[in-house]
Structure 1
Amino acid sequence: MFHRFLTYSVVGPCLAVCALVCQAAPKPLLTHISENVEIYASHSIDENNQLLVHIDPLTQALVVSAVTSLNSRFDIREQYRSPPPDADVETLCVFQDTQGIGAFVFDARGMASQQYLYLQSNAQWRQVAIRDFSMGGEPEYCMVDNASGQIYIAEEGIGVWQMSVAPESELTRYLSPLELDEDTVSIALISAEKGELSDEMGRVHSFNVKPPDYQRGDLPMLIADGQTDPVQRFGDAADDPAIWVNNETPGRSLIIGTDKKAGLDVFDLNGKRLQHLPIGKVNNVDVRQSVQFGENRMDLAVASNRSGNLLSVFAINGKNRSVMHIGDVSTPLNDIYGLCLYQPEQGLEVLVNDTDGTYLRYALTVAGDTVSASLMEQFNVPSQPEGCVADDKHQQLFYGEEASGIWLRSLAGVQQTSTRIAGLSDSVHADIEGMDIYHVDGKRYLVASSQGNDSYAVYAIDNDFDWLGSFRITADIENGIDGASETDGLAISSVNLGSRYPQGLLVVQDGRNVMPSDKQNFKLVSGSKLAEFIRKHR
């Protein structure tokens, strides 16, 4: 192991967030900590103040110190010391983004940990776990380029790995192969396409830099207001939410979410799981209230169940806020997938699709404890669909073709013509997944998840489907709520859901649940933030 400094110059107020530029660090700094320290990084705040992050050689704890230099003298004050880790640390490096200052730590097991050390929101020194992942091999040196949001990791005998530092980014690594026989002492970017690595023997190795897939800060950010408990199973499990509104006490409304490996979950607006129904691999779910069958009215949820290609039907009891599975309807689909509901004046209709592009429209009937459905029509999408939403009042169906865009179809009758109203662009990427309608100032807005760049596109339905812009959902670090990424399904309510969500609620599936790394869940965003975004961009 070798001694090294990774230092950055920050222009502006203390710990202000801005572009970072590498510079030399004063060599006497480390000797004031310990001559035995081998793993450390320095972050320059201004001419007289620095942040020093090092690994205690005896305990392997991560130690954060604020360093003030004046007339060649150093005042070093420890700000934070972590508990000893499970394994010895091999190397670390510091990063900075709009949320604060953090570090990547690589240990002897090949595991990596990303964490915040300083929170910009409240000017606190605090260790916040972001995510853990397996790096494998023997990482020996790392450097973060904050301008592009990329980390470069040297691995002996392998080369330089590159990946995004954004907490919600996909853990995809890109390798520039190099024959590295000696310890790395520095990595620097020469241009947007080229980087250089220097080893302890003075040799310089050039490597190719892969441009990031997209810039994380190129879209407006809405801060998450809440999150649900994680679903039951690891992996790609959580998928689609729906919102049931408690008309008597809106703050006691429910979020119903699918766990496509384990069943259906019911959460309150605080995200606490109230109920789990292990009824199969349910994929999409939708809710309608006060559905009339003859003289009876009831609140229903319907889910596409891939365990048997079924429509699973649930009754919602508003008095005790419970959900009960009341029956299933078989379908001829080979791989049932997306689903949404349409509520005419009488009864309930189900729009359900297959991964092969087949769409079926059913009229659902519930009589006592008997659930049945009759097929009304079938139509087809050119390629794989999933997410959809029906506007009951306007008798319209909006549905996504994942690799192409968004379609509109009238539900006023059968065998209507579908029209594509939105395609893909530099800002709206495949896959087009979940979608729902939000009402602001008497106007309708369609919100659709653009899974390929972790964003949400907003279209003005009443203004020729004009794309207003897209946003991302970012973390509330102070309260330990991460943002959302790789979203499948989403649901929106435009009604007052109590003091916390007076302008409704946006619920999205989070494909990469971090802070800390955990099973997938659903993120909650106040409708007030969505309304503000729409009013600003329309």
Structure 2
Amino acid sequence: MTTNRPARSAALAVGTALALVAALAPAQARTHAAEPLPAVTPKAETPTLYDDEAGGSANADDPAIWRDAADPDSSLVIATAKEGGLRVYDLDARQVQSVPAPAAPGPDDAPGRFNNVDLVHGLRLPAGRADLAVVSDRGHDRLRVYRIDRRRPGGPLTDVTDAAAPRVFSAGQDEVNDQHTAYGLATWTDPATGRSYALASRRNRTEVALLELLATPGGTVTYRKVRSLTLPSAFRLPDGTSWTPCAEPGELPQVEGMVVDPANGMLYAGQEDVGVWRVRADLSGTPKLVDKVREYGVPGVYDEETEECAPGADPGFGGTRLAADVEGLTLLTEPDGDGYVLASSQGDDTFALYDREPEDDNEYEGGFRVTAGRTADGSEECDGAAVLNAPLGSRYPRGLLVVQDGHDTPSVPEGREATGFKFVDLGRVMDRIDD
């Protein structure tokens, strides 16, 4: 993963592959023998973001797509750039606004670091209903909220976060500095009550919090924690042994990618080294593990000198469609009510599609890759994704898929960390899926 533990994830994937060659685990043998996934190419790509001493500290992570109902051609992509704040792009992938992350509160404290973003439509504010972009600020352990106004002269986003908005998980600045802070994020509006919520996961922990978004009389937005849910960090394997994903000491298998299906109020959460969970978005009920990553159950030993995990032999208890880390969950809806939960399989640069119906146990429906085309390179180690199956003017009449690229390949000196976002015609994706 580009945001966390890249060496460990790479080492685990490579080491596991070597162990599989020796062990010939049946589940993995089936995966290797499967038909290759179809490929689609991007139509456009955003300007490269750099996270190094020469180019600043901007690092692409997670996108959201906002549709301008009055003028779909003027729709926007709002995306996080970590310490680089937010970037806003038009449908040609050109930047129209850059919003900085908040400064560090003190000289020894972390600056703002925007991790994930999602949208809320029509939240009632004193001046009327507004569409909002909600962002997890990992650096400060808070949510930040931006009003969207496409025709605002200074740029479409205005910060409407209440100054008194609380920390999500931490009791004080010392805990914030430990960075066990708000990380992944998804939004949800309960159709039964009309109340809007954000669900935030905690970095290096298995906790997910449900936060109700609240408008203040002054026109800002704050939130309150309703409840939280802790997913497992250790797992009983079919052979009776217990397994915990290998990580740096003190770290637990975290959740980042999340999405809520508004039709049934189900939250899908990607626990990076484990798999995809399904649970009610109000965090009631019992979570169900929909699918596992291939590395599920693989033992590992952390090496403090190399800061990597050395994997052992694969016992064959993992899945066959996702390679750790599982990332970038988003919902692809269809007009007839069908659709898919889409997950980024970061370890093998693919995207997996699951039926959105819990009654069908979210059956796996296929997958695809985003590969280099004539106008843009593909997506590797994808952290975040967003999809909108709605007409977006002349550029994307059948909708849009936006995916993060963890290894952008511009003509720059080797060794610079370069990331960006790829815009893919959703019609092309659907055509390849249906082939």
Q: Following TM superposition, by how much is the alpha carbon of 1:372 offset from its aligned partner in structure 2, in angstroms?
A: 1.9
**Hey, what's the Cα distance between the residues in 2 that align with 1:256 and 1:476?**
23
In structure 2, the CA distance between the partners of 1:352 and 1:291, relative to structure 1 (3 Å rule), is same
Contact kept, 8 Å, 2:347 with 2:381, in 1: the verdict is yes
Q: Following TM superposition, by how much is the alpha carbon of 1:261 offset from its aligned partner in structure 2, in angstroms?
A: 2.2
Q: Following TM superposition, by how much is the alpha carbon of 1:236 offset from its aligned partner in structure 2, in angstroms?
A: 8.0
Determine the structure 2 residue equivalent to 1:366: 215
Q: Following TM superposition, by how much is the alpha carbon of 1:414 offset from its aligned partner in structure 2, in angstroms?
A: 4.9
Which residue of the other structure, out of 218, 221, 224, is the alignment partner of 2:39? 221
Write 1 or 2 for the structure with the bigger share of strand.
Answer: 1
**Hey, what's the Cα distance between the residues in 1 that align with 2:368 and 2:49?**
25
Residue correspondence of structure 1 range 126-205 to structure 2 within 5 A: none
**Hey, what's the Cα distance between the residues in 2 that align with 1:303 and 1:498?**
27
Determine the structure 2 residue equivalent to 1:385: 255
Determine the structure 2 residue equivalent to 1:80: none
Which residue of the other structure, out of 317, 324, 328, is the alignment partner of 1:434? 328
**Hey, what's the Cα distance between the residues in 2 that align with 1:327 and 1:295?**
15
In structure 2, the CA distance between the partners of 1:273 and 1:293, relative to structure 1 (3 Å rule), is same
In structure 2, the CA distance between the partners of 1:215 and 1:440, relative to structure 1 (3 Å rule), is same
Determine the structure 2 residue equivalent to 1:231: 49
Consecutive unaligned residues in structure 1, runs of 5 or more: 1-169, 175-191, 194-212
Q: Following TM superposition, by how much is the alpha carbon of 1:529 offset from its aligned partner in structure 2, in angstroms?
A: 1.5
In structure 2, the CA distance between the partners of 1:301 and 1:408, relative to structure 1 (3 Å rule), is same
Q: Does 1:522 align with 2:416?
A: no
Contact kept, 8 Å, 1:293 with 1:347, in 2: the verdict is no
Which residue of the other structure, out of 245, 266, 275, is the alignment partner of 2:67? 245
CA-atom RMSD in angstroms: 2.7
In structure 2, the CA distance between the partners of 1:364 and 1:289, relative to structure 1 (3 Å rule), is same
**Hey, what's the Cα distance between the residues in 2 that align with 1:529 and 1:258?**
25
In structure 2, the CA distance between the partners of 1:233 and 1:421, relative to structure 1 (3 Å rule), is same
Which residue of the other structure, out of 112, 116, 134, is the alignment partner of 1:302? 134
Which residue of the other structure, out of 185, 199, 213, is the alignment partner of 1:339? 185
Determine the structure 1 residue equivalent to 2:159: 325
In structure 2, the CA distance between the partners of 1:427 and 1:370, relative to structure 1 (3 Å rule), is closer
Q: Identity over aligned residues, as a percent?
A: 31
Q: Does 1:349 align with 2:197?
A: yes
Match of 1:237, SS state, is coil
Q: Following TM superposition, by how much is the alpha carbon of 1:415 offset from its aligned partner in structure 2, in angstroms?
A: 2.6
In structure 2, the CA distance between the partners of 1:414 and 1:471, relative to structure 1 (3 Å rule), is closer
Match of 1:327, SS state, is coil
**Hey, what's the Cα distance between the residues in 2 that align with 1:228 and 1:217?**
31
Q: Following TM superposition, by how much is the alpha carbon of 1:241 offset from its aligned partner in structure 2, in angstroms?
A: 0.4
**Hey, what's the Cα distance between the residues in 1 that align with 2:99 and 2:126?**
28
Q: Does 1:466 align with 2:363?
A: yes
Q: Following TM superposition, by how much is the alpha carbon of 1:249 offset from its aligned partner in structure 2, in angstroms?
A: 0.8
TM-score by length of 1: 0.57
Contact kept, 8 Å, 1:232 with 1:259, in 2: the verdict is no
**Hey, what's the Cα distance between the residues in 2 that align with 1:348 and 1:294?**
16
Equivalent position amino acid for 2:329 in 1: M
**Hey, what's the Cα distance between the residues in 2 that align with 1:444 and 1:272?**
29
**Hey, what's the Cα distance between the residues in 2 that align with 1:325 and 1:292?**
16
Contact kept, 8 Å, 2:115 with 2:135, in 1: the verdict is yes
Q: Which has the larger radius of gyration?
A: 1
**Hey, what's the Cα distance between the residues in 1 that align with 2:119 and 2:354?**
23
Write 1 or 2 for the structure with the bigger share of helix.
Answer: 2
Q: Does 1:266 align with 2:121?
A: no
In structure 2, the CA distance between the partners of 1:265 and 1:215, relative to structure 1 (3 Å rule), is farther
Q: Does 1:401 align with 2:271?
A: yes
After superposition, the C-alpha distances for 1:374-395 in whole angstroms (9 at most, x for unaligned) are 1111101223111000122321
**Hey, what's the Cα distance between the residues in 2 that align with 1:270 and 1:384?**
34
**Hey, what's the Cα distance between the residues in 2 that align with 1:216 and 1:417?**
33
Range with bigger deviation, 517-526 or 428-437: 517-526
Equivalent position amino acid for 1:223 in 2: T
Determine the structure 1 residue equivalent to 2:106: none
Determine the structure 2 residue equivalent to 1:417: 286
Contact kept, 8 Å, 2:387 with 2:402, in 1: the verdict is yes
Equivalent position amino acid for 1:244 in 2: W
**Hey, what's the Cα distance between the residues in 1 that align with 2:260 and 2:390?**
17
Q: Following TM superposition, by how much is the alpha carbon of 1:526 offset from its aligned partner in structure 2, in angstroms?
A: 0.7
Consecutive unaligned residues in structure 2, runs of 5 or more: 1-9, 15-20, 23-30, 102-111, 171-179, 233-252, 294-318
TM-score by length of 2: 0.70
Q: Following TM superposition, by how much is the alpha carbon of 1:217 offset from its aligned partner in structure 2, in angstroms?
A: 9.3
